[in-house]
């Protein structure tokens, strides 16, 4: 791992291309408009990004559709697509420092997290998915002796992917690796707050051998480029990660256009249940701090609600406050930094607003509070812990997407489950207990897509990621991700 000085040096030498990438080449936006990308740690201008609109989206979809129809990728043997995607994984690995630095400069995540989480996960996602694709079989249905019914998986055509800024490259990998592996063409609209790594990835994909038009990247605002992609009638599947509010809009756009299938990975307000029978209060507290303060709390699966059993509340809070000290905002280029700035001024203002509302609604501020933002110094928030939190408080109900932890309490297992499930969201949940039966019992009753027992946030490319309720539908990662990007066709032959 490079030193602070080395990362600083590398950041001064890096140059960026902010153009769209359509049909295998860089392309300026048709209307010639650009918007700035700003480094949230310094507020310095990084690059000008193409502000694509309906015309650019249409060009990209046409390129994707033509590429799909010509069959060079969609009709290639799975083994052949595997080789190209493995090459892409190798290229990402060879350029991992550049890509990690790009996302850090673009959205503020500590470089150490980029190098230890985002890049390894991205590379693994491409490699694992590539390796799977020539091992997925069709089926023969048990119809009886007079007919032969084949169930085949086919690529859907053009996949539109719309992604967020909090794990820019990794969220893109989770969508496009299975979509490409299955033989689809992709039009990707990355977040306007972190587009640079997506554009670079498209270039690397061409270098790896992905044919022109199969992966197109069209940066721009959600309201213009994102909406145009979601409304486009030649897009068959829309794969989205982002907020619940935008997810709901995409379902409407699908209905207004061609009933495209919409897969949604949306927001969260995940609970963390700490039972008195947990075997290690300190471990639970250390994990609870990481579950809200890592990546500045800009994590969909952040456990932003902790409920602790009343009889261990005092020692748990003491351990939690100590563990939280590990997270100090600092320059994300310094490998020892544990928390970077918020992505922009608006996100910092949201955090400040919720801290104010927590105070006004009777929360007990144990740590942190308002930031002391000065223009030009970066959008740094302070790790904040509020106890005496109850589920009727606004900051306990809403996803804040920042380093603000609500701590409430419970007395019985039933109460803990009820508090955890009392949320519009259902992404993840953590349970800390030394009792195996309780771990199973509670996990089964939690309304969410992922449960972590005596840990938080752990996953693997082999296991599905996603939620229920307002947290979305469909799953990224694992073989189940392929379901989103394939159609089942049944061919029945009378014998
Ligand atoms: P966002 O919803 O504001 O934006 C996500 C994407 O949607 C961006 O590319 C944006 O440009 C686009 N968009 C915005 N308005 C649009 C519109 N009208 N039509 C089409 N596209 C539009 O979310 P964000 O701020 O980028 O990301 C944070 C959110 O993402 C949080 O809610 C977080 O929980 C969620 N998230 C979820 C997961 C998951 O797997 N469930 C993972 C990461 C982040």
Please give the residue that has the higher pLDDT: either 217 or 372. 217
Task: Report the Cα 144 to chain-centroid distance in Å.
Answer: 45
Ligand 1 centroid to 242 CA: how many Å? 2
Task: Report the Cα 237 to chain-centroid distance in Å.
Answer: 18
300 lines ligand 1 (CB under 6 A): yes
Ligand 1 atom closest to Cα of 465? 40
Q: Is the predicted pLDDT of residue 431 greater than 90, yes or no?
A: yes
- Span 154-161, average pLDDT: 98
Ligand 1 centroid to 9 CA: how many Å? 32
Is residue 288 located within the same domain as residue 199? Answer: no
Percent of the chain with pLDDT over 90: 98
Ligand 1 atom closest to Cα of 164? 26
Given a contact cutoff of 8 angstroms between Cβ atoms, the answer to whether 427 and 417 are in contact is: no
Q: Is the predicted pLDDT of residue 1 greater than 90, yes or no?
A: no
The pairing of strands 364-367 and 20-22 is unpaired
Q: What is the CATH number of the domain that holds 405?
A: 3.40.309.10
Is residue 203 located within the same domain as residue 275? Answer: no
Strand partners, 491: 150
Of 121, 222, 227, best ligand 1 pocket probe by most atoms within 8 Å of the beta carbon: 222
Is residue 400 located within the same domain as residue 343? Answer: yes
243 lines ligand 1 (CB under 6 A): yes
Residue 487 sits in which domain range? 4-266+472-494
192 lines ligand 1 (CB under 6 A): yes
State the pLDDT at residue 427.
98
Is residue 297 located within the same domain as residue 324? Answer: yes
Confidence of residue 103 (pLDDT cuts 50, 70, 90): very high
Closest CA to 285 of 324, 338, 311: 324
Q: What is the CATH number of the domain that holds 145?
A: 3.40.605.10
242 lines ligand 1 (CB under 6 A): yes
Which residue puts its alpha carbon closest to atom 14 of ligand 1?
Answer: 222
In the predicted model, what is the mean pLDDT of the chain?
A: 98
In a domain, residue 466? The reply is: no
d(CA 375, CA 23): 40
Is residue 143 located within the same domain as residue 122? Answer: yes
The pTM for the full model equals 0.98
In a domain, residue 321? The reply is: yes
Of 243, 268, 347, 473, best ligand 1 pocket probe by most atoms within 8 Å of the beta carbon: 243
The pairing of strands 147-155 and 45-50 is unpaired
Q: Residue 211 gets which letter from DSSP?
A: P
Confidence of residue 370 (pLDDT cuts 50, 70, 90): confident
162 lines ligand 1 (CB under 6 A): yes
Q: Residue 465 gets which letter from DSSP?
A: B
Is residue 349 located within the same domain as residue 279? Answer: yes
In a domain, residue 205? The reply is: yes
Helix (H) or strand (E) holding 90: helix 78-94
294 lines ligand 1 (CB under 6 A): no
In a domain, residue 89? The reply is: yes
Is residue 188 located within the same domain as residue 287? Answer: no
Is residue 181 located within the same domain as residue 299? Answer: no
State the pLDDT at residue 79.
98
Is residue 59 located within the same domain as residue 193? Answer: yes
Question: In Å, what is the CA distance from 119 to each residue of 97, 217, 445, 462?
Answer: 9, 19, 34, 17
Is residue 157 located within the same domain as residue 57? Answer: yes
Which residue puts its alpha carbon closest to atom 13 of ligand 1?
Answer: 222
249 lines ligand 1 (CB under 6 A): yes
Return the active site residues. 265, 300
The 3 state secondary structure assigned to 288-339 is: HHHHHHHHHHCCCCCCCEEEEEHHHHHHHHHHHHHHHCCCCECCCCCCCCCE
pLDDT tens, residue by residue, 445-458 = 999 999 999 999 99
All residues at 6 or more sequence positions from 376 whose CB lies less than 8 Å from its CB, including other chains: 43
pLDDT tens, residue by residue, 43-97 = 999 999 999 999 999 999 999 999 999 999 999 999 999 999 999 999 999 999 9
State the pLDDT at residue 372.
82
230 lines ligand 1 (CB under 6 A): yes
Ligand 1 atom closest to Cα of 399? 32
Ligand 1 atom closest to Cα of 471? 41
The count of structural domains within the chain is 2
Q: Which residue has the tokens 């996803």?
A: 399
In a domain, residue 467? The reply is: no
Which residue puts its alpha carbon closest to atom 40 of ligand 1?
Answer: 265
Is residue 424 located within the same domain as residue 477? Answer: no
- Radius of gyration from C-alpha coordinates of the chain: 23
Closest CA to 402 of 350, 344, 460, 480: 350
- The SS3 call for residue 273 is strand
d(CA 473, CA 16): 35
Ligand 1 centroid to 202 CA: how many Å? 20
Is residue 186 located within the same domain as residue 39? Answer: yes
């Amino acid at each position: 791992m490079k030193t602070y000085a080395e990362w600083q040096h590398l950041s001064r030498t890096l140059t960026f291309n902010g153009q769209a990438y359509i049909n295998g080449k860089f392309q300026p936006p048709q209307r010639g408009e650009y918007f700035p990308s700003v480094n949230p740690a310094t507020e310095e201008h990084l690059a000008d990004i193409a502000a694509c609109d309906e015309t650019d989206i249409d060009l990209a979809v046409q390129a994707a559709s033509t590429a799909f129809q010509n069959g060079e990728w969609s009709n290639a043997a799975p083994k052949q697509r595997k080789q190209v995607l493995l090459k892409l994984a190798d290229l990402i690995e060879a350029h991992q420092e550049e890509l990690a630095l790009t996302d850090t400069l673009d959205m503020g995540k500590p470089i150490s997290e980029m190098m230890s989480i985002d890049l390894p996960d991205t590379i693994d996602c491409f490699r694992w998915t590539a390796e799977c694709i020539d091992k997925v079989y069709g089926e023969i249905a048990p119809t009886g002796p007079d007919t032969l019914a084949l169930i085949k998986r086919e690529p859907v055509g053009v996949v539109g992917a719309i992604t967020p800024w909090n794990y820019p490259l990794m969220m893109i990998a989770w969508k496009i690796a299975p979509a490409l592996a299955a033989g689809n063409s992709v039009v990707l609209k990355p977040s306007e707050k972190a587009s640079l790594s997506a554009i670079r990835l498209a270039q690397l994909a061409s270098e790896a051998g992905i044919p022109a038009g199969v992966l197109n990247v069209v940066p721009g605002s959600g309201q213009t480029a994102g909406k145009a992609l979601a409304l486009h009638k030649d897009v068959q599947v829309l794969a989205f990660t982002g907020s619940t509010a935008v997810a709901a809009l995409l379902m409407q756009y699908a209905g207004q256009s061609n009933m495209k299938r919409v897969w949604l990975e949306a927001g969260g307000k995940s609970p963390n249940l700490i039972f008195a029978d947990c075997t290690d209060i300190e471990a639970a507290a250390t994990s609870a701090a990481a579950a809200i303060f890592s990546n500045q709390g800009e994590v969909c699966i952040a456990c932003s609600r902790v409920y602790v059993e009343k009889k261990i509340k005092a020692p748990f809070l003491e351990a939690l406050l100590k563990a939280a000290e590990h997270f100090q905002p600092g320059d994300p280029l310094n490998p020892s930094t544990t928390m970077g700035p918020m992505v922009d001024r608006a996100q910092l203002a949201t955090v400040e607003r919720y801290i104010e509302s927590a105070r006004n609604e009777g929360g007990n501020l144990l740590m942190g509070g308002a930031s002391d933002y000065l223009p030009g110094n970066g959008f740094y928030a302070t790790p904040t812990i509020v106890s005496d939190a109850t589920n009727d408080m606004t900051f306990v109900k809403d996803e804040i997407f920042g380093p603000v932890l609500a701590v409430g309490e419970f007395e019985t297992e039933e109460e803990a489950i009820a508090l955890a499930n009392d949320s519009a969201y259902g992404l993840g949940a953590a349970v800390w207990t030394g009792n195996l039966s309780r771990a199973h019992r509670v996990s089964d009753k939690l309304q969410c897509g992922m449960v972590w027992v005596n840990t938080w946030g752990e996953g693997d490319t082999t296991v599905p990621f996603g939620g229920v309720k307002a947290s979305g539908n469909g799953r990224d990662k694992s073989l189940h991700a392929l379901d989103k990007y394939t159609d089942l066709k049944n061919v029945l032959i009378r014998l």
